[in-house]
Each structure stands twice: as structure tokens, then as C-alpha cells.
Amino acid sequence: MNSEALSALIAKNPSLKGSKAKLELMEPGSYVIHRSWGFGQIKSYDDSAQRLLIDFKGKKAHPMDPAFCLNTMEVLPAKHLLVRKETEPKKIAELIADDPAQLVAEALEAYPNHATSAIDLEITLTQVVGEDKYKKWWSAAKKSIGKDPRISMPEKKTELFVLRETPVSAEDEILEQFHSTRSARRRIALAEELVATVAKKEIKTDLLAVLKTVADGVKDSNQLDASERLYGASVRDDLAKLAGSDEVFEPSQAALIANARDLPAIAEKIPVHFQSTFLELVKATHPVESRDLVFTLLKTSQGKFTTECINFLIEDGHADELAAALKRWQTEQNLRAPVLLWIVKNRHSKKFAKLLNDLITPRLLGAVFFAIDYEALQASSARRIPLADILSEDTDLIADLLSTADPETARDLANTLMLNQGFEELTKKSLLARFIKIFPKIQSLVAADAEGKEEQLLVSKASFERKREEYEIIVSKKIPENSKAIATAREHGDLKENSEYKMAKQDQQVLMAQKTNLEKDLGRARISDFKEATTEQVSAGIVVTIKDESGKSTRYTILGAWDGDPDANIISYKTALGVALMGKKVGDTVKVKTGASDESYTVAGIELYKA
């Protein structure tokens, strides 16, 4: 904007006089960032209309009032990365690919005082690198940026990235952060970084002060839970070894896991890279009972810790006991979702072939369905279920598990699938198609569904309320939030290249499918207090005692279609066992097909359920 145009604008609106310096920057050729329209370039100024003409992505020669732009648009300096991406595309592309630390350093040079917030820098880098590549690129780039002595990385996104006037070594930066924080948890993490840095570079640093602070925190801090205290003790001992200290610190790592009952809670939160060390520590601390303790930990394990427990038991010579335990847990319906997930993921592994061969049966598929249904019923809101995902994504899994099934078993499992709460209707149809490919007669299930032959579902009031609450959250919160996200993403320009818009639309499809499924389920539900049940025969709302062929007794509470708690022996009347027992009287015998064999049970007693 030239001086004449600027004078005319101020004459028309004298209040703009104090913003003259900002207006002078709005000249043709300058690059800008607008709060709503994003990155653009001023192309010209229309004197007659007193409007800037700005090219934004997907919106050429967009007229804008300079006065309106004062608070909504920023003119970028020539050194700004977004500007340089336009003026020096080859150079910026090279920095992105080969030297992310230098890219960040040059980005910071364009800011006043060579500093900006993590949020602002990441927004800029997202646009420079590209939204589709940014997340993966930034995850790798942070490692080299963190090692660059010129750059100070913030701990929180609200804090600043700073380009230092004088470069600082990695260990000095860690020490600076260590002494400036009061968080015992943060100090442990920084001490671990210091151990890795000093050991790798063989730099002689005075570590005794850091060691004392970490040791005091492990001993006295009330900020740490049991798993954090144990891990802190491990870092403390590594630090002592590096510092050449012979001092004996309390509490020792062994003392922190001396009580075997504390182990499952500790194992649940320990860092992934500490899991194998933790198991070795359990063995050293509890040499006599370590095998049984690791079996207990495996039973309730999650994620990578499941693999660590299994590897530990095999390497420690307990492969046969492990195979027997997995088979026993399957029979007792005590195989939890993480262990099931590990089994199906590793079913083709040569390393675990002997361990898993006898488990890959139709019975395992029944256990998988039960675990998925249980997790879906326990969830307070819609969320991913890894077992359900792998069943859908691994196209050979159902065929492998049904390889020894007879048609009747396959049909029972297909029925279980159609009643499962952990799948959307379209996914159920897709999975059912895999059953039909092997057992064509199961096609009748699809035909019955298409004809609308859907029975009512008897449900408890509590389970109905859970379903209704899940429905209300989707309708009143998640769908409106998604609609806003779509509207916001639409404003960003070309929808064909707008990843935010595509993701929001995909979320919309998922939410609408969940809404439809929940409406269908709630429409079929009939709430019951189960007071109509009698002790004459088995029905929903009774407690039944059954005996297996060996004479072992088990009590099951049979409730509604959406009820289930394996820990308390509560089952739905829609489970395979529940269906078999319906209508039976004391003394009656039932057969429940599990895998390739039939299990016989005798009804030994019937009592009314008391809520």
C-alpha cells in the first residue's frame, strides 16, 4: 500500500492513524497469514474500493478491508518459513529431508528474540512439511532437534522454543532442566536422559548432586506411585554406578517389590523398556515363586508386557507349563483379551508353534467373541477394541480358527457373532461372509436378518441405561462436535486436498453407523427386573448351579442380553451356555459344543437372583 493510498485510508478513518506502521507492511508481494483464510499473498490494492486483493489457497484476488485485517492478519517477514517455502522451495525441501534441526533454527531466527511457543512453531511446521507427512516427520525430527546445542526445547506446548545465543551441551541442558523442576517424576526422566548422554559420550560430569536428589525423591517423595518409585530406584542405581558411588541406597529395588501382592499394580504402569528388567527383578527377589508370579502377571497383562511375560516363561524353561496354562484358561473361560490378541497374532510363528498349535480351534474363536462382547459391554463409550479390529483386518483368521469346526459349531459361532455388541452391523455382515465361504448353509442367518426376524432382547435396567447413555453422548455431543469440525475444515479451502475435512467426514460415517446400531439395539430391548423368574426352570434372572462330568460345581447368574461379568460368573442368557440352559430343570443334562467336542453339564440347583 503506497503512501497516497495509506493517507486516503487514514483520512477516511482517522482511528487507523495509530496502526500506520502495520498498514505500511501490507504492500503488494508481501506474504500473509490470515486467521480464517490461512496463508496468502497480497497481489494489489484497489484504490477506488480501498481493498487489498489477496490470493489465498482456492480463493484468488479475495478483496479485504485493510482496517479489518489489522487484527485478523499478520504480514510475514521474508525469513519466515512459510514465505521461504514459496521463495526458496528447493532449499526448504532439503532442510526438511536432511536437517530438521537447522530448519527449526532458521524458523526461530525469523521471530522476535529468536523464540516462539511450541504451539505456534508446530502450526507453522505442519504447513511447511504438509499435514499428511508432518506427524511422522516431527516424531523423528524431535530427536535431532533435542540434541542440537543451539535449540532449547520446551517441556510443555505452552512454553517456548528458543534459539540460544550461545550453544549449550546436551548434558548441561539436562542439568539445567533437572535443577529447575520440582517434579520428582520429571527429575527421574531427566536423570535417565543424563545417564544415556554421559555414558554414550564418556563425558566426566559431577553426577553426585543429581544422584542425591533422585535418591531422596525415591525415598521420600509423595508424588510417586509404586511403579514410578521402582523405576526411579532403577535409574538411581544406574546413576550411582556411572558416578562411581558405593553408597547403599534405600529402599532397594528388591524391597520395593518384596510384597508379591503389589506386583500386578506395579506391572500395569512400568515403562515398556523396563518390563523385561522388571521380570528379571521379580525372579531375583522371589526365586522360589517367580514362575507362579509371572503366570499371575501374564493373566492380567496388557500390550507388550504380555509378550514379555511369555518370552520370559519360555526362556526360563516353562514352555510346557505355559502351554498347559493357556489351554486351562481357555477351558475355564479365563483367557483375557490381551492374551487372546497375542495368540492370534502369533499363531503362524515358528517360535511359538508348539505352544499354540492346540489352541487354534473353534473354541478359541468363541473365547475371542466373548472377550469382544465383554469389552464392548464394559466400555462407557464407543472405543476401539483391538481384538475386534484384528478379527476384521486379518482375512485368514476366521478360516484358521474354523479349520476343525463342524457345520453345527460354525452355525453356533455365527449366531454368537450376530448377537455380539462389539461390532457394527456392516462389520458383522462382512465377517459372516467369511463363515459362509466355508459353510454355505450359514447363509440362512443372513436371509433371516434381511426378513427382519429380530427377537426382542431382555435386558436389565442398568445395562439399558448404559446403552442409552452411550447413545445420548453420540447424539448430543459427538455428532454436533463432528459437524462443527466439518464446517471448520470446509473453510480451509479445496476439499479434494483437505485432509482435515476428509478425516471429519470419515468420523461422521462412523458416528452415524454407531447411532443407527444403538437405535436398533435400544428398539429391540425390553427392560426386566427378572422378578418373573421361578425356580422351576432355568431362565434369565436365576442363579444356576451346574456340575461337569468330573463332579465339579459352578454357580452362574444368568441375566439380560447385555449383562456379563466373568469375574463374578455372571453371563447373558444369549451366551452359548445360557442358550443351552434355558428352560432346563434340576436334574436335566445339557451339552454345550465348544470347539470340536461337547461338554456335558447337569443342572444341580436353581435359585432366584437377588439384585
**pLDDT, tens digit, 9 for 90 and up, residues 55-68:** 998 889 999 998 88
Residue 264 φ then ψ, to 5°? -60, -40
CB 335 within 8 A of CB 365: no
Give ∠ CA 34-123-69 in degrees, rounded to 5: 10
CA distances from 550 to 45, 330, 602 (A): 92, 18, 11
Section 33-45 average pLDDT: 90
Least confident of 257-271, 353-367, 448-462: 448-462
What angle, 0 to 180 degrees and rounded to 10, lies between the N-to-C axes of helices 499-524 and 479-490?
160
**ω into residue 100 within 30 of 0, thus cis?**
no
d(CA 281, CA 237): 13
In 59-133, DSSP assigns E strands to 59-64, 73-75, 115-117
d(CA 330, CA 311): 20
Q: What is residue 76's DSSP assignment?
A: P
pLDDT of residue 94: 95
Section 531-548 average pLDDT: 89
In this prediction, residue 279 has a pLDDT band, given cuts at 50, 70 and 90, of: very high
- The H or E element that residue 611 is part of is none
Q: Which of 410, 360, 412, 369 is nearest to 387 (CA)?
A: 369
Q: Is the dihedral of CA 447, 451, 452, 454 positive or negative?
A: negative
Section 113-120 average pLDDT: 90
Q: Which of 445, 403, 405, 440 is nearest to 428 (CA)?
A: 445
In this prediction, residue 104 has a pLDDT band, given cuts at 50, 70 and 90, of: very high
d(CA 192, CA 51): 58
In this prediction, residue 226 has a pLDDT band, given cuts at 50, 70 and 90, of: very high
Distance from the Cα of residue 157 to its chain's centroid: 21
> How many CB atoms are closer than 10 A to CB 499?
12
pLDDT of residue 454: 56
pLDDT of residue 490: 66
pLDDT in tens, 152-173: 888 777 889 999 888 777 777 7
Mean pLDDT (the chain) is 86
CB 49 within 8 A of CB 63: yes
Share of the chain above pLDDT 90, in %: 41
Q: Is the dihedral of CA 434, 520, 454, 385 positive or negative?
A: positive
Distance from the Cα of residue 300 to its chain's centroid: 18
CB 205 within 8 A of CB 198: yes
In this prediction, residue 566 has a pLDDT band, given cuts at 50, 70 and 90, of: confident
pLDDT of residue 335: 84
Q: Is the dihedral of CA 262, 268, 274, 277 positive or negative?
A: positive
| End-to-end CA, the chain | 78
pLDDT of residue 115: 92
Go through the domains of the chain in sequence order and give each one's CATH number: 3-67 (no CATH), 81-168 (no CATH), 363-454 (no CATH), 458-527 (1.10.287.180), 542-608 (3.10.50.30)
CA distances from 498 to 2, 55, 479, 488 (A): 36, 18, 20, 11
Q: Which of 348, 300, 295, 341 is nearest to 321 (CA)?
A: 295
pLDDT of residue 414: 87
Q: What is residue 155's DSSP assignment?
A: S
Q: Which of 484, 503, 483, 502 is nearest to 494 (CA)?
A: 502
d(CA 344, CA 113): 55
pLDDT in tens, 478-523: 888 887 877 777 665 554 555 676 677 777 777 777 887 788 888 8
Q: Is the dihedral of CA 318, 319, 325, 329 positive or negative?
A: positive
pLDDT of residue 452: 47
Residue 110, by phi and psi: left (phi above 0), alpha (psi -120 to 50) or beta?
A: alpha
Cell 521420600 found at = 220
Give ∠ CA 195-199-205 in degrees, rounded to 5: 75
